[in-house]
């Protein structure tokens, strides 16, 4: 019980609902000023969300310890309460951090659903049938509601929708809702292509459902595979880019580069890039470097690809080669509980090391490799 005639209950009033043995330690701590009403209320909230009041004293000690370690336990409890989500009082500090990321994404979806930012999808709408069983998403409110309904993270589409680089459609097949990502194609005869189809909880369509969605949207299924074949350059492209980056790093007296990445719930991102010595960070981030990019396009009924040199900042080039190396590892570190890891370039030794850890309550190393940049051989 949270309220009495519209007035929030105090911590003391809420303690009366607990068995005497569970409530007495909290009363003593409140009396001596060793704990605050706010902390007691949060601990009681956690017990209610976990549906377990037998371990509250032990959890209170763990709560205070984790707060001292800057684990956002209080935020998780508050967000779980607002979203009516279950908690587990026995979670490890890392699990509380993971839950904070998950609930924060849900909060972001709720904020998007509460806003009304419009998306210009006219470039896509003109190529779709006037009527189909569904609709194009044209506002952040609709996008947020789509994520909440489908229970997958669509917040990362917001920036791309604002830039016009994709469009999202909700399509219904046999009363089942599908979230469909659209992209503009280079072929005038096939101006649109479908790049992703997912349903609730990131479920994937059957071949028949995929064909039906293409037909409903008037989009032909490419004769070639939906993903272009890997070019012969692809497996070593990240190494080629490392070989272009390495001399720049050496010229700038950089000793080590560490790239951090983290992801879960169908969303992942490459985060901070740190250059050491640390006092060189600001000076090198935007240095121009030549970066090779494997461009893929649909031409004359088939996928083809070509490697093109481009100018990029050092930060962007390292982000891209990290993404390429991750893809070749075959590790899915962004779905479900997700994972995290680092890519480390030892400039002096001329090596690159990629470590990817998959979350499963406890973390384990799912991929580890260290290569010589010049030869591509395992070190």
For the stretch 149-207, pLDDT in tens is 776 666 667 878 888 889 999 999 999 999 999 998 878 888 999 988 888 876 788 88
Tell whether 128 and 173 lie within a shared domain.
yes
One domain for residues 332 and 240: yes
Q: Is residue 227 part of a domain?
A: no
Measured in whole angstroms, the distance separating CA 261 from the mean position of its chain's CA atoms is 10
Closest CA to 319 of 291, 351, 350, 355: 291
Could you read off the pLDDT of 305-344 as tens digits, one per residue?
Answer: 677 778 888 988 898 888 888 777 777 766 666 677 888 9
> What is the tally of structural domains in the chain?
3
What is the average per-residue pLDDT within 81-87?
A: 88
Average pLDDT across the chain, whole number: 81
Both 64 and 149 in one domain: the answer is no
Strands (E), the chain: 3-4, 7-8, 134-136, 167-173, 176-187, 190-198, 256-264, 267-276, 288-299, 302-313, 339-346, 351-360, 362-372
C-alpha–C-alpha distance, residues 126 and 343, integer Å: 43
Q: Using the predicted structure, report yes or no on whether residue 267 has a pLDDT greater than 60.
A: no
Q: What are the residues whose beta carbons fall under 8 Å from the beta carbon of 349, sequence distance 6 or more?
A: none
Asked if 246 and 356 sit in the same domain, the reply is yes
Domain-ending residue, one of 91, 114, 131: 91
d(CA 282, CA 303): 40
What is the mean predicted confidence (pLDDT) over 280-288?
A: 81
Give the residue from 188, 216, 244 where a domain finishes: 216
**Are the C-beta atoms of residues 347 and 255 closer than 8 Å to each other?**
yes
User: Does 187 share its domain with 252?
Assistant: no
Assess if residue 224 is contained within a domain: no
H or E element in which residue 106 lies: helix 93-114
- Note whether 246 and 355 are same-domain residues: yes
Task: State how beta strands 256-264 and 267-276 pair.
Answer: antiparallel
- Please tell me what DSSP assigns to residue 151: T
- The answer to whether residue 103 is domain-embedded is no
* Amino acid 133: pLDDT: 96
Kindly state whether residues 39 and 162 are assigned to the same domain.
no
Instruction: Note the pLDDT of residue 229.
Output: 46
List of long-range contacts for 357-363, beta carbons under 8 Å, 24+ apart: 357/333, 358/331, 358/332, 358/333, 359/94, 359/98, 359/264, 361/92, 361/95, 361/337, 362/92, 363/94, 363/339
0.75 exceeded by pTM: no
- Nearest-angstrom CA–CA distance, 260 and 33: 42
Residue 226: band (very low, low, confident or very high) from pLDDT cuts 50, 70, 90: very low
d(CA 340, CA 158): 23
Report how far residue 351's alpha carbon sits from residue 379's, in angstroms, rounded to the nearest whole number: 8
350 vs 187: which has the higher pLDDT: 350
Q: Residue 251, Cβ neighbours under 10 Å: how many?
A: 10
Tell whether 108 is covered by a domain.
no
For residue 233, what pLDDT band results from cuts at 50, 70 and 90? Answer: very low
Domain assignment of residue 105, yes or no: no
Say yes or no: 204 and 248 in one domain.
no
pLDDT for position 113:
67
pLDDT reported for residue 40 = 92
Let me know whether 315 and 361 are in one domain.
yes
Evaluate whether residue 229 is within a structural domain.
no
Q: Is residue 78 part of a domain?
A: yes
264, 317: one domain: yes
pLDDT higher for 154 or 62?
62
Cα torsion angle, 202, 208, 209, 212, sign: positive
Residue 65 falls within a domain, yes or no? yes
Q: Are 300 and 269 members of one domain?
A: yes
Give the structural domain span for 360: 234-372
Q: Looking at the structure, tell me whether residues 295 and 211 fall in a common domain.
A: no
| Domain boundary, last residue among 70, 91, 112 | 91
Q: How far is CA 295 from the centre of its chain?
A: 24
């Amino acid at each position: 019980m949270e309220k009495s005639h519209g007035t929030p209950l105090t911590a003391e009033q809420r303690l009366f609902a607990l068995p005497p043995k569970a409530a007495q330690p909290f009363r003593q701590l409140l009396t001596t000023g060793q704990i605050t009403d706010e902390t007691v209320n949060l601990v009681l909230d956690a017990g209610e969300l976990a549906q377990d009041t037998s371990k509250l004293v032990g959890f209170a000690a763990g709560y205070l310890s984790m707060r001292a370690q800057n684990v956002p336990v209080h935020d998780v409890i508050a967000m779980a309460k607002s979203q009516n989500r279950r908690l587990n009082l026995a979670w490890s500090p890392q699990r509380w951090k993971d839950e904070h990321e998950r609930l924060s994404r849900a909060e972001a979806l709720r904020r998007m659903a509460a806003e009304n930012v419009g998306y210009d999808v006219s470039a896509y709408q003109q190529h779709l049938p006037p009527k189909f069983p569904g609709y194009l998403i044209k506002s952040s409110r609709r996008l947020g509601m789509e994520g909440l309904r489908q229970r997958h993270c669509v917040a990362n589409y917001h920036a791309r929708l604002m830039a016009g680089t994709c469009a999202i459609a909700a399509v219904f097949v046999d009363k089942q809702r599908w979230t469909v990502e659209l992209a503009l194609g280079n072929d005038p005869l096939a101006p649109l292509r479908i790049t992703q189809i997912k349903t609730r909880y990131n479920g994937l369509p059957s071949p028949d459902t995929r064909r039906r969605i293409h037909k409903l949207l008037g989009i032909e299924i490419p004769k070639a595979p939906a993903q272009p074949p890997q070019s012969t350059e692809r497996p070593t492209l990240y190494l080629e880019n490392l070989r272009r980056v390495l001399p720049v790093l050496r010229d700038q007296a950089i000793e080590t580069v560490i790239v951090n990445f983290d992801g879960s719930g169908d969303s992942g991102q490459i985060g901070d890039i740190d250059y050491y010595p640390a006092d060189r960070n600001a000076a090198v981030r935007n240095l121009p470097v030549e970066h090779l990019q494997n461009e893929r396009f649909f031409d004359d009924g088939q996928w083809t690809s070509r490697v093109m040199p481009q100018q990029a900042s050092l930060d962007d080039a390292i982000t891209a080669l990290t993404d390429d190396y991750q893809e070749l590892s075959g590790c899915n570190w962004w779905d479900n509980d997700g994972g995290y890891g680092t890519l480390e370039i030892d400039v002096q030794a001329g090596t690159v090391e990629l470590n990817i850890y998959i979350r499963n309550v406890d973390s384990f190393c799912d991929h580890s490799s260290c290569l010589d940049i010049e030869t591509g051989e395992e070190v």
